[in-house]
């Protein structure tokens, strides 16, 4: 390759986003704080340092929380449709900056430029959804058992929402949370991944400009930066009623325990071990498209990436052969070059985990079908580029039971009825995304029934990746049980209140209890 990143307009993109070589990483909306200690953002594309971001100190964190608390008092009193107007303007600003922000996502994280643009589009889409939602934060009315009484429920803002996001979706997952939280009347404090901190600073610049133009107070949107120790400031802080955390199962368990210990609320989006079931009635062309993108998109670093392909024995050889041929056509390289299909892993630690997984699966009895490996030479100087691998394996292998954040696809064989495949699919601790490829209506309905997939997402004739924002996103079991984005996911960002109004001159008690004075 040998193409420099400058040829793809990165310098201009960084300038458009207001990013410099050194960036302040602690923001209280329109204000920011200096920090002596910095994080270096290293691009996995070429191994170059993009810039530095200041790490939040305990003193800076305290200022952030105080500013957020003050902003909440103001923000919660603004009518929800007016809050939605701010979110609408934010979405419009994202439309204006979609290209540079998409490039930054691609360059800092390593996903393809098209996927970077798609991630910014997700931000725009959730803003549109939130604007409509701002006029529909509805409760219910209920009939009272007492004459002359009216009952209803309503939802009120929680307060400060703490958001901890992962490197693989460095901007979209924050937007999923914050757009909804804002229209609900909450204020947000965000800790982006330390592996993609510049994306967080860029987003903060964008929303800060919108807030300032509308005369809104500092603290509606805040940013903190650092490693897990900065995140712990939020998870242990009683002033933050809700922590939304995206990451590994290991991280999620730590967050859940810390937040539960103070009786706070957690919204957890954790690991996935997602499978596509391929039945005798599957359309093979559709199957291959869904499986390949699911397995190699974002270099296998999506929580919804396809890890397992569970194939009926009557179709196994056909799928294996077509899939192997498809993998031979994959182009690996600079993700800003739209001719390439697969970019780098996030860092060399991820590469080491990829290599260890391939070693482990062979030790446990797997057969390498499409060989992996680390790429080197011109264009691969960062050491983060690997070859997508396919392995014939067994579902009970220990390594197959775990999520490896890399482009490794395990081929598993099943016999007999679709129930056997569903049992294999469900026999892992994760429960995020799942799919079945079939033209058999009975198989599809069985897969979607209560006795079918135990995942939060279950698709028919599409892959495991690429969820739309209109539906609630999340999974069961050790995926954490959280729901973000569409449907009624907004309710987690609010507190529910039941109201009973007595408009008579008497005071009857519920359940017919008599208490006369």
Whole-model pTM: value is 0.95
Q: Catalytic one among 303, 443, 478, 484?
A: 303
pLDDT digits (tens, 9 = 90+) for 239-273: 999 999 999 999 999 999 999 999 999 999 999 99
**Pairing assessment for the beta strands 472-473 and 38-42 based on DSSP bridges:** unpaired
**Phi first, then psi: what are they for 123, rounded to 5°?**
-65, -45
Q: CB atoms < 10 A from the CB of 452, how many?
A: 20
pLDDT digits (tens, 9 = 90+) for 7-30: 589 999 999 999 999 999 999 866
C-alpha closest to that of 38 among 279, 167, 278, 225: 225
**Phi first, then psi: what are they for 26, rounded to 5°?**
-115, 115
Angle at 380 between CA 378 and CA 386, to 5 degrees: 140
- Over range 195-207, report the average pLDDT: 97
Please, which residues have CB within 8 angstroms of residue 401's CB and are 6 or more apart in sequence? 273, 395, 428, 429
State the pLDDT at residue 7: 59
Tokens encoding 226: 């650092």
C-alpha closest to that of 55 among 194, 225, 205: 225
pLDDT digits (tens, 9 = 90+) for 97-144: 999 999 999 999 999 999 999 999 999 999 999 999 999 999 999 999
Task: Please report, to the nearest 10 degrees, the dihedral formed by the alpha carbons of residues 500, 501, 507, 512 taken in order.
Answer: -40
- Over range 148-169, report the average pLDDT: 97
Query: Does residue 6 register a pLDDT over 90?
Result: no
State the pLDDT at residue 31: 67
Q: How many angstroms separate the CA atoms of 459 and 265, rounded?
A: 29
Q: How many angstroms separate the CA atoms of 79 and 135, rounded?
A: 9
Query: Does residue 277 register a pLDDT over 50?
Result: yes
pLDDT digits (tens, 9 = 90+) for 24-76: 999 986 667 777 899 999 999 999 999 999 999 999 999 999 999 999 999 99
Q: How many angstroms separate the CA atoms of 430 and 90, rounded?
A: 35
C-alpha closest to that of 129 among 415, 504, 513, 484: 484
Per-residue confidence at 172, pLDDT binned at 50, 70, 90?
very high
Containing H/E element for 495? Answer: strand 494-502
Containing H/E element for 499? Answer: strand 494-502
Q: Where are the beta strands (DSSP E) in 371-510?
A: 389-392, 408-414, 430-431, 433-437, 457-460, 472-473, 476-477, 484-485, 494-502
Q: Residue 303, CB half-sphere, CA atoms under 13 Å: how many?
A: 30
Question: Which residues are paired to 156 by β-bridges?
Answer: 495
Q: How many angstroms separate the CA atoms of 115 and 65, rounded?
A: 34
| Mean pLDDT computed over every residue of the chain | 96
DSSP letters for 17-55: TT--SEE--EEETTEEE--SSEEEEE-TTTS-EEEEEEP
Higher pLDDT residue, 419 or 511?
Answer: 419
Q: How many angstroms separate the CA atoms of 125 and 296, rounded?
A: 24
3-state SS class at 318: helix
Q: How many angstroms separate the CA atoms of 408 and 389, rounded?
A: 5
Q: How many angstroms separate the CA atoms of 70 and 79, rounded?
A: 17
- Over range 356-373, report the average pLDDT: 98
* 419 flagged as catalytic: no
State the pLDDT at residue 401: 98
Q: Are 168 and 153 in contact (CB under 8 A)?
A: no
* 269 flagged as catalytic: yes
Q: Catalytic one among 115, 269, 443, 484?
A: 269
Q: Are 270 and 256 in contact (CB under 8 A)?
A: no
Q: Which one-letter DSSP state was computed for residue 428?
A: S
3-state SS class at 162: strand
Q: How many angstroms separate the CA atoms of 423 and 415, rounded?
A: 12
Tokens encoding 474: 């999340």
> Which residue in this structure is represented by tokens 């039945």?
279
Q: How many angstroms separate the CA atoms of 453 and 441, rounded?
A: 15
């Amino acid at each position: 390759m040998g193409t420099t990143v400058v040829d793809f307009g990165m310098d201009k993109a960084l300038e458009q986003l207001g990013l410099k070589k050194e960036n302040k990483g602690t923001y209280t909306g329109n204000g920011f704080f200096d920090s002596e200690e910095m994080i270096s953002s290293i691009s996995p594309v070429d191994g170059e340092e993009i810039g530095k971001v200041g790490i939040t100190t305990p003193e800076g964190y305290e200022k952030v929380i105080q500013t957020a608390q003050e902003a909440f008092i103001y923000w919660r009193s603004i009518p929800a449709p007016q809050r939605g107007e701010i979110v609408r303007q934010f979405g419009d600003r994202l439309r204006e900056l979609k290209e540079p922000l998409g490039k930054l996502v691609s360059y800092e994280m390593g996903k393809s430029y098209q996927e970077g643009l798609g991630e910014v589009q997700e931000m725009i889409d959730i803003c549109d959804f939130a604007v409509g939602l701002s006029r529909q934060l509805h409760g219910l009315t209920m009939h009272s058992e007492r004459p002359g009484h009216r009952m209803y429920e309503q939802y009120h803002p929680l307060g400060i929402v703490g958001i901890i996001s992962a490197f693989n979706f460095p901007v979209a997952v924050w937007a999923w949370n914050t757009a909804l939280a804002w229209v609900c009347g909450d204020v947000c404090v965000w800790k982006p991944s330390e592996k993609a901190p510049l994306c967080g600073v860029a987003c903060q610049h964008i929303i800060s400009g919108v807030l300032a133009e509308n005369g809104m107070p500092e603290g509606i949107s805040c940013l903190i930066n650092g490693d897990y120790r900065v995140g712990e400031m939020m998870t242990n802080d009683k002033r933050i009623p809700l922590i939304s955390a995206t990451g590994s199962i290991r991280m999620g368990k730590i967050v859940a325990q810390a937040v539960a210990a103070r009786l706070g609320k957690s919204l957890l989006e954790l690991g996935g071990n997602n499978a596509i079931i391929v039945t005798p009635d599957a359309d093979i062309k559709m199957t291959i498209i869904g499986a390949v993108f699911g397995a190699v998109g974002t270099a296998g670093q999506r929580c919804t990436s396809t890890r397992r392909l569970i194939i009926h024995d009557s179709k196994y050889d056909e799928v294996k052969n077509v899939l192997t041929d498809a993998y031979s056509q994959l182009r690996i390289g600079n993700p800003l070059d739209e001719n390439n299909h697969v970019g780098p892993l996030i860092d060399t630690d991820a590469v080491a985990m990829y290599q260890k997984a391939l070693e482990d699966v062979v030790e446990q009895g797997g057969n390498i079908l499409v060989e992996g490996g680390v790429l080197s030479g011109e264009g691969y100087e960062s050491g983060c580029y690997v070859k997508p691998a396919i392995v014939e394996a067994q579902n009970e292998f220990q390594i197959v039971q775990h999520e490896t954040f890399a482009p490794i696809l395990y081929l598993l064989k099943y016999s007999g009825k679709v129930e056997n495949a569903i049992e294999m699919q469900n026999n892992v601790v994760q429960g995020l995304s799942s799919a079945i490829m079939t033209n058999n209506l009975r198989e599809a309905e069985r897969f979607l029934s209560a006795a079918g997939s135990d995942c939060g997402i279950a698709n028919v004739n599409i892959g495991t990746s690429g969820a739309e924002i209109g539906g609630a996103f999340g999974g069961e079991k050790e995926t954490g049980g959280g729901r973000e984005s569409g449907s009624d996911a907004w309710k987690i960002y609010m507190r529910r209140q039941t109201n009973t109004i007595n408009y008579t001159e008497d005071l009857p008690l519920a359940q017919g209890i008599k208490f006369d004075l």
